[in-house]
Structure 1
Amino acid sequence: MNILIANLLSGAAKAKGTAVVIDVFRAASTACYAVAAGAARIIPTGTVEQALALKAAHPEFVVMGERGCLKPDGFDFGNSPTEIKDADLSGKTVVHATSAGTRGILAAMESAQDVLFMSFVNLSATGSYLVARMPEVVTLAAMGRAGETPAPEDKLCAMYLKNELEGVPNVMDAIRSFVRNTPSAEIFFGASAIVPETDFDLCLDLDAFDFVLRAGRSPEGFVELLPLGPGRGRLTPDATSGDVRAV
């Protein structure tokens, strides 16, 4: 397994093999909490307008996301684990529009053979998926802020997964302490806070969930994220191909 690390939207657009799109603060984390709250699938979109158009066409859909870290007008939820974790999303389709993560998924779909969405909260499940599948090339795409500026939490998450796959020890407590004192954390704390402070810990809750978020095409032609894992279909290596399928 050749593990590459790419950065930002430009890196996601050039991803090779299996792409792991990483957005810790907060898109991939929020997507995982939405699935844990019962969402059946998540439809990532590139713009707020696309998300609202899907909502208009399908009033039963739930829309969550952000621009400038804040919930856009007309959305049901922001891009916030705190907002979404106690919602009842049982069986719902959730439309997700963010500045970096959801755009990264769509970009990676153009070049990669397989696309996963990851944060610290589903890191080990994602690692297990990769070990079971053993793709020749894995691209870890750290999305950064708005897909344009590097963010330490995304780079550290990519390195954490790379270390796990290569048998190198990690220290999550050190990562939490370091990230707490970076510009990325300013949105959570003090006078500069614009999002729930509790999101910080929720996004850094290592292995809170045991499922993978995998992108594919829906029957309607949408890109959609579906959860694979215990309770969502067990990850099982195919005896002949080494592939992974939900059973």
Structure 2
Amino acid sequence: MDIRVVLTPGDPLPGDRDGWLVVDLLRATSQIATFFDGGGQVLLPVETLEEARSLKERLGAGWLLMGERESLPPEGFDAGNSPLELLRLPQKARLRGVLTTTNGTRALLTALASGGRVFASCARNARAAARAVRETGDRLGILCAGLKGGLSWEDGLCAGLLVERLLEEEPRGATLDEGAELVRRAYRAGAGDFASGVLASEHARRLLDLGLGGDVAFCCEVDAGVSVPELTRWEGLPAFTG
């Protein structure tokens, strides 16, 4: 098993990966996993606000328009990028959705363009995600969504958690690149207190300042979910389907 970790979506992605785990812990990939844990059927990730609004207009009222810019819901959106807000909605209102975020949806689409199967991963589905990507082959990648094009401490910690889960699946014979070794050491340095490490990040502090500490705590729950959404296509569009 060969594991490579790409720390920001602006870094070159190897084109030889059998499978990718994309991480945007706070909060896009946590939101996507929660959407499907809650019974969601189709979720369309898009990069821009214009694409999101256009899709919503074309697809109709039965689609939930979700997303954020600067951590808050854009004007006219039905919901933000908050998994707790999502779970408070009636289930019939969250079966089909469109999602755009500052970092996460862009990273997912970048991974899809590089080849290999692509899964939304986070702390909540870490063990299940490791098992899912391991089934794709021996050459595996983890892509961190980062923060505004740069490094994101919390995504790196989550990538380290995912490396650990992959090594639990196959403890012998794994090869880790420099990025994988780096995030693994950062995760292990936390002595198992994942949430405290995340709370030290710039992004977590911003969410706390905005009164979204509940989201941070929810996203830090490890192995609490079961869904591992895979990015494929639906009617010609990049999509997660349940």
One fold, TM greater than 0.5? yes
Counterpart of 1:164 in structure 2 is 165
Write the letter of the residue equivalent to 1:30: Q
How far apart are residue 173 of structure 1 and its match?
A: 4.4
Q: Distance in 2 between matches of 1:174 and 1:12?
A: 31
More helix by proportion, 1 or 2?
A: 2
Map 1:126-141 onto structure 2 (within 5 A). 126-131=129-134, 133=135, 135-141=137-143
Q: 1:109 aligns with which of 99, 112, 117?
A: 112
Q: Are the equivalent residues in 2 in contact too, given 1:14–1:108 (CA < 8 A)?
A: no
TM-superposition CA deviations, 1:145-175 (whole Å, max 9, x none): 13x1211111111111112222379667422
Q: Which residue matches 2:176?
A: none
Aligned ranges 1:36-185 → 2 under 5 Å: 36-59=37-60, 60-90=62-92, 92-131=95-134, 133=135, 135-146=137-148, 148-167=149-168, 173-185=192-204
Which residue of structure 2 aligns with residue 230 of structure 1? none
> Normalising by the residue count of structure 1, what TM-score does the alignment of the two structures yield?
0.83
Are the equivalent residues in 1 in contact too, given 2:157–2:197 (CA < 8 A)? no
Counterparts of 1:188 and 1:122 in 2: how far apart (Å)? 21
1:211 to 213, 216, 227: 227
After superposition, the CA RMSD in angstroms is: 2.0
- C-alpha distance in structure 1 between counterparts of 2:12 and 2:111, whole Å: 5
Amino acid at match of 2:97: V
Structure 1 residue 36 displacement after superposition: 2.5
Query: What amino acid sits opposite 1:187 in the alignment?
Result: R
% identical equivalent positions: 26
Residue 225 of structure 1 pairs with residue 240 of structure 2: yes
Q: Tell me the amino acid that sits aligned with residue 161 of structure 1.
A: L
Q: Judging changes above 3 Å, is the alpha-carbon distance between structure 1 residues 13 and 96 closer, same or farther for their aligned structure 2 residues?
A: farther
The list of structure 1 runs, each at least 4 consecutive aligned residues, that deviate by more than 4 angstroms after superposition, is 12-15, 168-173
* Separation in structure 2 between the aligned mates of residue 108 and residue 23 of structure 1, nearest angstrom: 13
SS of the aligned residue for 1:8 comes to coil
Question: Which range moved further: 58-67 or 84-93?
Answer: 84-93
Specify every segment of 5 or more residues in structure 2 that has no aligned partner in the other structure, as ranges: 172-186
Q: Is the 8 A contact 1:12 1:107 kept in 2?
A: no
Residues 209 and 172 (structure 1), Cα distance of their counterparts in 2 relative to 1, 3 Å cut: farther
Deviations 1:53-87 (A, max 9, x none): 00101112111111111100111110111211222
Q: CA deviation at 1:194?
A: 1.9
Q: Structure 1: which 5+ runs fail to align?
A: 228-247
Please name the residue that 2:214 is paired with.
198
Partner of 1:3: 3
- Cα gap change, 1:175/1:12 in structure 2, threshold over 3 Å: closer, same or farther? farther
Q: CA offset at residue 182 of structure 1?
A: 2.7
